[in-house]
Amino acid sequence: EAGVAQSPRYKIIEKRQSVAFWCNPISGHATLYWYQQILGQGPKLLIQFQNNGVVDDSQLPKDRFSAERLKGVDSTLKIQPAKLEDSAVYLCASSLELKGGQETQYFGPGTRLLVL
């Protein structure tokens, strides 16, 4: 079974530029998550999708971050314009909704973003 795929793996941009990350979840997984992991910290949830609908985007900085999952499969996360503090690893995860909510999240390798 293929895992969660993410691209690109690395990205270097200058502040005020825009950037987009792509994620393809495990086949059949209904729930998709985007996390931000700043160096030295644990991952922080940015947004959670159930199929193509947003479940939780309470921690997404909506003035500059956007995400979509149009067909309920793959997803893109965009930052526009980027700030220095956006330098982080962006992790995508997916889970298969199980009865009772006892799902497990499977993570992709992440996209490492450096904003100069």
Partner 1 sequence: AQSVTQPDIHITVSEGASLELRCNYSYGATPYLFWYVQSPGQGLQLLLKYFSGDTLVQGIKGFEAEFKRSQSSFNLRKPSVHWSDAAEYFCAVGAKGTYKYIFGTGTRLKVLA
Which residues of the chain form contacts with partner 1 (CB under 8 A)? 4, 6, 31, 40-45, 48, 50, 55-56, 91, 93, 95, 97, 100-110, 112
Which of 111, 115 has the CB closer to partner 1? 111
SS3 73: coil
Closer to partner 1 by Cβ: residue 15 or 44: 44
- Tokens 């298969």, residue? 96
Shortest CB 76 distance to partner 1, Å: 18
What is the C-alpha separation between 16 and 83, in angstroms, rounded? Answer: 6
C-beta of 9 vs 83, nearer to partner 1 = 9
Q: Closest distance between partner 1 and the C-beta of residue 81, in Å?
A: 27
Distance CA 34, CA 36 (A): 7
CA nearest to 8, candidates 25, 27, 21: 21
User: What's the closest the beta carbon of residue 109 comes to partner 1, in angstroms?
Assistant: 4
At residue 52, the 3 state secondary structure works out as: coil
Nearer to partner 1, 4 or 115 (CB): 4
Instruction: From 106, 94, 109, 102, select the one nearest 31 (Cα to Cα).
Output: 94
**Least distance to partner 1 from the beta carbon of 18, Å?**
24
